[in-house]
Structure 1
């Protein structure tokens, strides 16, 4: 059974290794390592923005969620290549939706690299709408939004 929990300091090295395994196939397409391969996962853990998915065998995936004024940003999401197809790529975004609602957001935003063409089909199937494309941090990115429909009394904290 796959469970999720907030990441802890002990997860930093494992999440970094997982990101390298999950993203290494995109290096040739992008022409350099994808941003998640160079991310500061210790900072994400310290900031309390990372959650991990695991089973009795260990870490299987992670997600980094960043609060903004008007939405929750999925800043990074990765699943172990050997664990793909087990529903983790559905479970982690569901966690993001739950966290967004809990925090009073009615939208989730995310971005993916333009060269990660699989994601360009995947996210719309999950209810995300492409909003724009552009360069950010030296990468060609595609930006998506999903509206959650949080009720107004949830947003006001009543």
Structure 2
């Protein structure tokens, strides 16, 4: 009984200390702070794999698997963008990040169904949002094409 009370006290103290400090190891935090580096090594290679896979109706499961993999990475990348908000225009940043996440998720689900028409629609819509974000935050550089 004494051990259980000691354990509960320790757990409560740990919670209080983590709340007071404001940070825990479980909080998301960027590994790479530089946005250009992040985009170059997370999004660019993924886009470069997705573009040829989406160029025409996939003929085999390997291409569908590539579309599913890359679209899921793009979608989850949208979540990663949310923890990298700039100092200015945070609401616009969040809007674009959520759009990439949601449209990438839609593309992923279309690929699961092997629905090329829907996949193409979601892919193009996602790239439009990427380009809009690049217009706003990268001075129009790094425009993507389907």
Give me the TM-score of the superposition, normalised by structure 2.
0.32
| Richer in strand (by share) | 1
Give me the TM-score of the superposition, normalised by structure 1.
0.30
